[in-house]
Structure 1
C-alpha cells in the first residue's frame, strides 16, 4: 500500500478514534464546549463525536472520500473554538496540561491541510 493510499485511511482512523473517545469519555469533551453554544454540552460532545465517526466512514470509502475529506477540513476549522476554550480554561492548570492545551491550537492547521490534500488527491489534483 502506497503512502497516498495510507493517508486517507490514517486520517479516517484518527477521526474514528476521536469520535469513539467522545462517547467513551464524554466529560473530557464536555469541559471544552464553548459556553456560548446553545443547549447542553453533552449534546455537543455526542454530536461532534457522531460527526467524526461519519467523516471517518466517508473518508474510508473511496466513493465518498473527496466530499468527506472536504467536510473534515471544514469540521477541523469549526472545532477550533473548542480548542481555544480549552487553552483559556486550562491556563491555570499544571504545566503539562497547560502545554497540551496550547499544543492543540497549532495542530489544527496540519489537520485542515491533510484533509484538503486527501480531497485533492481523490479528485486527481496535485
Structure 2
C-alpha cells in the first residue's frame, strides 16, 4: 500500500497553516538580523566579504520572502526565493558547526550546531513544497 497520496492530501489540507508558519518564522528571523546582527555576523565564513552587509541583505530577503508567501500573486516566487536563500546561508551554518562558534547569550551546545545542518534541508524542502501550485480543493477533501 502506498501512503504517499494520503500524506500529500494531509499536507495539502494544512498548506495554509504551514505557509503562515514558514512566513512567521522567516519574518522573525529576518527581523532579528536587524535587531541583533552580531550573532549572524559572527557565523559568516571569513572567506566572504562584508559580513554585516550580507547579514542585512539576507535579513531583508527573509522578511521579503515571508511577506511574499502571504500574498497570493507572489507566493510561488517568494517560496523559490526562500529556497535560494536557505541554500545561500548554509555556509554560515556549516561554519558555525565546523568552527564551534560560541554565540553570546546562547547556550553553547555543539551538538545542536550539527543538528541544525540537516534542519536546513527541511527548510529547503518546506519552501520548495510551498512553491508548488495550490492544490485543487476538491482533490483534498
Q: TM-score range by the shorter chain?
A: 0.7 to 0.9
Identify the match of residue 52 of structure 1 among 41, 53, 62.
62
Q: CA 1:123/1:54 → structure 2, altered by over 3 Å: closer, same or farther?
A: farther
Cα drift, residue 28 of structure 1: 0.5
Q: Is the 8 A contact 1:8 1:59 kept in 2?
A: yes
Matches within 5 A, 1:95-110: 96-110=108-122
Structure 1 partner of 2:14: 3
- Secondary structure of the 1:36 match is coil
TM-score using structure 1 length: 0.86
Q: Is the 8 A contact 2:43 2:101 kept in 1?
A: no
**Cα distance per residue 1:14-65 (max 9 Å; x no partner):** 10011011111111101111111122x1111111111101111111111100
Unpaired segments ≥5 residues, structure 2: 1-12, 137-141
> In the alignment, does 2:32 pair up with 1:21?
yes
Cα drift, residue 97 of structure 1: 2.4
Q: Is the 8 A contact 1:12 1:60 kept in 2?
A: yes
Unpaired segments ≥5 residues, structure 1: none
Larger radius of gyration: 2
Q: Is the 8 A contact 2:83 2:127 kept in 1?
A: yes
**Cα distance per residue 1:48-98 (max 9 Å; x no partner):** 1111011111111111001110111111111111100111221789x9521
How many residues in Structure 1 have an aligned counterpart in Structure 2?
121
Cα drift, residue 122 of structure 1: 3.2
**Cα distance per residue 1:89-108 (max 9 Å; x no partner):** 21789x95212211110101
Q: CA 1:91/1:52 → structure 2, altered by over 3 Å: closer, same or farther?
A: closer
TM-score using structure 2 length: 0.78
How far apart are the structure 2 equivalents of 1:59 and 1:32?
Answer: 27
How far apart are the structure 1 equivalents of 2:40 and 2:116?
Answer: 14
How far apart are the structure 1 equivalents of 2:34 and 2:64?
Answer: 14
Deviating beyond 4 angstroms after TM superposition, the runs of 4 or more aligned structure 1 residues are none
